[in-house]
Amino acid sequence: MKILANDGLSQTGVDALESAGYEVITTNVAQEQLEDYINENNIEVILVRSATKVRKELIDACPNIKIIGRGGVGMDNIDVKYARSKGVHVINTPAASASSVAELVFAHLFGGVRFLYDANRSMPLDGDTKFKSLKKNYAKGVELRGKTLGIVGFGRIGREVAKIGLGIGMKVIATDKYVDNATIKVEFYNGQFINVNIETESMKNVLKYSDFITLHVPAQKDYVIVKKHFDIMKDGVGIINAARGGVIDEVALIEAIESGKVAFAGLDTFEEEPTPAIKVLMNDSISLTPHIGAATIEAQDRIGTELASQIISILKAEHA
């Protein structure tokens, strides 16, 4: 059996699948060539991340596909219901990348409160001639400790964000349409830990009382954050989106930054991927990363191992 990992797969995942007797192909096939490649090479399992799309047309055109695997959480690039209606297994790895995404949120937050997003642009240009003025420009940073962190979406990733926030002394509040409360386990050395129960609140409360807001929701048909939501937020708020492009109205975000309502933003995902809006890319108050939330060695190893385990289990059951 042949497995196409079109957006790549960690070596641990490849090794696990090959040890089980499957052929793993890691060639990256262009979207428009995917249908022919799958059929010509008799591919039965296709693994993707966020780049490759597996839509109804591809599913219909490639009847040999038995499993579609998504390395990560969201499956908005796959027509999941349709695939399952055709008897195709659709799997993902919802827990594998949670820690990596959460750490990236704090990379943006720490960089934001100390102006690293701007300093890293200015120092190479003017650090040797305007050192003292740059030092003055960046001398009014603030600490995260003691500040209120609002989490919109309190699933696995949101809870990992809460764990880090609690660990560095932040006050954490959260909102979620489907979660009433969650217990966050903060672990320390020698097996010590504390459990912190967090009851979710209204969206309005989170927007109103948070010093920093981070989004952890799936792809939506409509924006989650629009102008009216920025109006509720504190002046000088920081906002992070490492969830999905399109959950923040980027035009409204730029307006909020220019008015001073938003002090800085950190974006890992964008409305127009892979060609984000120039106004977003050029804004001096936005910390930017190219959708790398799950792109750590550890997360990719977990993703690969988890996908391999699910695939092996499904195929063994089918041949039992």
For residues 66 and 88, the answer to whether their CB atoms sit within 8 Å is yes
Q: What pLDDT shows up at residue 319?
A: 79
Please give the share of the chain, as a percent, with pLDDT higher than 90. 95
Q: What pLDDT shows up at residue 302?
A: 96
Q: What pLDDT shows up at residue 225?
A: 98
Please count the structural domains in the chain: 2
Q: For the segment 48-102, what is each residue's pLDDT rounded down to a tens digit?
A: 998 899 999 999 999 999 999 999 888 999 999 999 999 999 999 988 999 999 9
- 267 and 313 assigned to the same domain: no
Written as one letter, the residue type at 283 is N
Which residue, chain included where needed, has tokens 């399109």? 246
- 111 and 219 assigned to the same domain: yes
Q: What is the mean pLDDT of the chain?
A: 96
User: 173 by DSSP, 3-state: which?
Assistant: strand
For the segment 3-23, the average pLDDT, to the nearest whole number, is 97
- 190 and 302 assigned to the same domain: no
Q: What pLDDT shows up at residue 165?
A: 98
C-alpha pair distances (Å), 48 with each of 54, 70, 298: 8, 5, 18
**Global pTM value:** 0.92
Task: Determine the Cα–Cα distance for residues 102 and 99; give it in Å rounded to an integer.
Answer: 5
Active site residues: 244, 272, 291
DSSP, residue by residue, 259-298: HTSEEEEEESS-TTTTS--HHHHT-TTEEE-SS-TT-SHH
- Residue 320 scores a pLDDT above 80: no
Q: For the segment 181-227, what is each residue's pLDDT rounded down to a tens digit?
A: 999 999 999 999 999 999 999 999 999 999 999 999 998 899 999 99
Q: What pLDDT shows up at residue 152?
A: 98
- 165 and 304 assigned to the same domain: no
70 Cα distance to chain centroid: 13
Q: What pLDDT shows up at residue 173?
A: 98
What domain range includes position 212? 98-288
- 174 and 260 assigned to the same domain: yes
For the segment 3-14, the average pLDDT, to the nearest whole number, is 96
- Give 161 or 219, the one with higher predicted confidence: 161
- 61 and 108 assigned to the same domain: no
- 252 and 180 assigned to the same domain: yes
For the segment 112-116, the average pLDDT, to the nearest whole number, is 98
| pLDDT band at residue 318 under the 50/70/90 scheme | confident
179 Cα distance to chain centroid: 19
Q: What pLDDT shows up at residue 146?
A: 98
- Residue 110 scores a pLDDT above 80: yes
The enclosing domain of 121 has a CATH number of: 3.40.50.720
- 232 and 307 assigned to the same domain: no
- 204 and 177 assigned to the same domain: yes
For the segment 242-262, the average pLDDT, to the nearest whole number, is 97
- 105 and 88 assigned to the same domain: no
Q: What does the longest C-alpha to C-alpha distance in the chain come to?
A: 72
- 250 and 106 assigned to the same domain: yes
- 42 and 7 assigned to the same domain: yes
